[in-house]
């Protein structure tokens, strides 16, 4: 979903700290070798994740959905010494590529990369968790949330990507809704009605929902 013109987007990127060679490499390799390269976080969102991580200063951060490692590296760059990022992904076919990028970043000691179904892995993730970024299959967003909310520290932040779903969340009366859109609508409403958090939906890229645990 294009919220602003390409010219304005270019202007925003020109006034955002430069994407370094490693992130440019990850973008290029993802576009050349991996299906659905649009799933990559990209320059603006990546820098936002890095800065938010620095602001929150988590001891433990969690990412659900590693993909090719772009967002994980951005978040890991925001970690203080001794902090760690746990990142989960189900696609073991990308493991060699992703571990290579993590090694090249110099941050592999702070990144705990775990492969498997997140629904199976999350019960073994110990809290308290200070920052979570959810960017995996949208059908399971509510389940991910339910599995982590009690592990989030007071004041901790949960961020979920793609919550505007290319504008499909704006449903007209009588319109048929696909299962992914239904799941996103239900997830967004769940957060809105959860008294344990305060939240804001940001129109960044495809929408990021941020919830702060009270």
What is the secondary structure of 133-150 as a DSSP string?
Answer: EE-S-GGGHHHHHHHHGG
The answer to whether residue 179 sits within a structural domain is yes
CA 179 to chain CA mean position, Å: 21
Q: Give, to the nearest 10 degrees, the angle between helix 21-33 and helix 95-105.
A: 170
Q: What is the CATH number of the domain that holds 141?
A: 3.40.50.150
Cα–Cα distance, 66 to 40 (Å, whole number): 10
Q: In this predicted structure, what is the pLDDT of residue 32?
A: 95
The boundaries of the domain holding residue 184 are: 6-213
The answer to whether residue 197 sits within a structural domain is yes
Q: In this predicted structure, what is the pLDDT of residue 118?
A: 98
Q: In this predicted structure, what is the pLDDT of residue 1?
A: 57
Do residues 8 and 16 touch, judged by C-beta distance below 8 A? Answer: no
The answer to whether residue 126 sits within a structural domain is yes
Q: In this predicted structure, what is the pLDDT of residue 2?
A: 65
Q: In this predicted structure, what is the pLDDT of residue 165?
A: 93
The answer to whether residue 143 sits within a structural domain is yes
Total structural domains in the chain? 1
The answer to whether residue 1 sits within a structural domain is no
CA–CA–CA angle 193, 124, 46 (5° rounding): 65
Predicted TM-score (pTM) of this structure: 0.95
Running along the chain, 214 residues long, what does each successive block of 10 average in pLDDT?
Answer: 80 95 97 88 94 98 98 98 97 97 98 98 97 97 98 98 93 89 97 98 92 98
């Amino acid at each position: 979903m294009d919220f602003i013109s390409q010219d304005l987007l270019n202007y925003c990127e020109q006034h955002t700290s430069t994407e370094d060679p490693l992130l440019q490499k990850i973008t290029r390799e993802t576009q050349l070798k991996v299906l659905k390269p649009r799933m990559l976080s990209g320059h603006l969102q990546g820098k936002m994740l890095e800065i938010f991580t620095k602001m929150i200063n988590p001891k433990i951060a969690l990412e659900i959905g590693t993909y090719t490692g772009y967002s994980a590296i951005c978040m890991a760059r925001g970690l203080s010494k001794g902090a760690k990022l746990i990142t989960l992904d189900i696609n073991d076919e990308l493991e060699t590529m992703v571990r290579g990028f993590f090694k090249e970043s110099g941050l592999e000691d702070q990144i705990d990369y775990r492969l498997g179904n997140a629904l199976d892995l999350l019960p073994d993730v110990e809290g308290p968790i200070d920052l979570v970024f959810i960017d995996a299959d949208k059908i399971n967003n509510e389940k991910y949330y339910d599995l982590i909310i009690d592990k989030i520290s007071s004041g901790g932040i949960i961020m979920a990507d793609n919550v505007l779903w290319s504008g499909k969340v704006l449903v007209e009366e009588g319109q048929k809704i696909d299962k992914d859109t239904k799941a996103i609508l239900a997830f967004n409403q769940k957060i809105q009605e959860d008294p344990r958090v305060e939240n804001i939906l940001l129109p960044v890229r495809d929408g990021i929902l941020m919830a702060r645990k009270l």
